[in-house]
Structure 1
Amino acid sequence: MNISEETFLVNLGIHIRQLREKKGLSQQGLADDCNITKSQIARIEVAKLNTGVKTLVKIANALDIEPKELLDFPLK
């Protein structure tokens, strides 16, 4: 399967937003738990930022999930 980087980032951002909302967290709450800025979370969720692995691990930890779960989403 061939997927564009943009499609992947869009789907990743949607998935992170869904997981965040499922946990009842605001963007600010997740950012605080990750020790990053709210704007960074917002830019990840709308695919304006290609974030690094370290940040993905912080997000996974804040959401109390394994990092691999962040990448387990259907492609649209």
Structure 2
Amino acid sequence: MNISEETFIANLGIHIRQLREKKGMSQQDLADDCGITQNQVGRIERAEIKTGIKTLIKIANALDVEPKDLLDFSIK
């Protein structure tokens, strides 16, 4: 399967938002736990920016999931 970078980033953002909401966390809660801004969390979830592996690891830790679980989603 060939997937565009934009599609992957968009689906990653949706998945992060779903995991965050499942944990009952606000964007600010996640941002505080990751040491990033709420604005950055929102931009990641809306696929407005690409994020690095270090930030993805921080997000995974804050959501109490394995980093690989952030990438385990269906492409839409």
Q: Give the TM-score normalised by structure 2.
A: 0.99
Where does the alignment leave 5 or more consecutive residues of structure 2 unmatched? none
CA RMSD, aligned part only? 0.3
Q: Which residue of the partner structure matches residue 3 of structure 2?
A: 3
Question: Which 4+ runs in 1 deviate beyond 4 A?
Answer: none
Where does the alignment leave 5 or more consecutive residues of structure 1 unmatched? none
Q: Which residue of the partner structure matches residue 56 of structure 1?
A: 56
Amino acid aligned to 1:72: D
Shift of 1:10: 0.5
Q: Quote the sequence identity (%).
A: 75
Question: What is the number of equivalent residue pairs in this alignment?
Answer: 76
CA deviation string 1:9-51 (max 9, x = no partner) = 1000000000000000000000000010001000000000100
Q: Which residue of the partner structure matches residue 15 of structure 1?
A: 15
Q: Give the TM-score normalised by structure 1.
A: 0.99
Q: Which residue of the partner structure matches residue 25 of structure 1?
A: 25
d(CA) in 1 for partners of 2:66 and 2:30?
16
